[in-house]
Amino acid sequence: MGRMVLVIGILLAVVGEVFPQERSTREPLPSNPPVAQTEAEAKILTIIEHMVKFNQTYLSVPPQDGQALRLLTEAVDAKNVIEIGTSTGYSGLWFCLALQKTGGHLTTFEIDHGRASVARGHFHDAGVENLVTLVEGDAHEQVRKLKMPIDVAFIDADKPGYVDYLNKVLPLVRPGGLILAHNVDMVPDYVKAVTTNPGLETIFYMQGGGLAVTLRKR
């Protein structure tokens, strides 16, 4: 319970809780941009900024959501993070900012070879290849091969597949772990799945692209 209170408390303090059907009409509060504390962080942030500047964030999260991914991952001291939908590596780099601190590893899945190749280049340029395993192929099949306990799972791929991804990763998510899902206002069946399961607790952060933050209860 202590870790649950910590994670949800930090999230609410920074970004606020908004249910997708009841978006706030108030202006969102500005968040402070990340400031590099080390040379390694500076290298990652440089590539993140480069990707935004040169429009290389195809189908990826907006910066607000990237910061939320980093904050949540670091808050739960994640060691094993999985990401379904690598795209060009933008969200993966936000995860890597946290994983450098937690000593963790990212396993990310991408079905498109071209996007996977671009992502590998970004991971290389950011100096985080050792923190990332990129798996090419259909994640609906590839995630079946996972065996390790998961601290954070992030779903940002084909919207009709969200519930299937949830069902496949949930047994591996440790109690106290998080399942994050992007663009949730586009996936009502996923919202229903995570809000009607008594073993889960979910809040919605709608400042960016719409992020469901689901805790697997202890």
Domain boundaries, the chain: 2-18+37-216
User: Percent of the chain beyond pLDDT 70?
Assistant: 86
pLDDT at residue number 28: 65
Look at residue 22 in the predicted model and tell me its pLDDT. Answer: 46
User: Quick check: 18 pLDDT over 80?
Assistant: no
* C-beta separation of 199 from 191 below 8 A: no
Residue 62's contacts (CB-CB under 8 Å, 6 or more residues apart) are 208, 209
What does the alpha-carbon distance between residue 90 and residue 61 come to, in Å, rounded to a whole number? 7
Confidence check: pLDDT of 20 > 90: no
H or E stretch covering 78: none
* pLDDT (average), residues 163-188: 97
SS (H, E, C) 167-203: HHHHHHEEEEEEEEEECHHHCHHHHHHHHHCCCEEEE
Res 26: pLDDT: 60
29: confidence class by pLDDT, cuts 50, 70, 90 = low
What are the two backbone dihedrals, phi and then psi, of residue 138, each rounded to the nearest 5 degrees?
Answer: -75, 115
- Average confidence (pLDDT) over 135-162: 97
End-to-end CA distance of the chain: 7
Q: What is the pLDDT of residue 14?
A: 42
CA angle 81, 87, 89 (to 5 degrees): 60
| Cβ proximity of 73 and 95 under 8 Å | yes
More confident residue, 208 or 4: 208
pTM for the model stands at 0.86
CATH numeric code, 2-18+37-216: 3.40.50.150
Q: What angle do CA 103, 66, 93 make, to 5 degrees?
A: 45
**pLDDT, position 206:** 86
**Spatial contact of 180 and 208, defined as CB atoms under 8 Å apart:** no
The confidence band for 117, taking pLDDT boundaries of 50, 70 and 90, is very high
DSSP state of 55: T
Report the pLDDT value the prediction gives residue 17, as an integer from 0 to 100.
42
Residue partners of 5: CB distance under 8 A and separation at least 6 = none
118 — pLDDT class (breaks 50, 70, 90):
very high
CB-based burial, 170-201: b 16+ in 10 Å, e otherwise: bebbbebbbbbbbbbeebeebbebbeeeeebe
| pLDDT in the model for residue 34 | 80
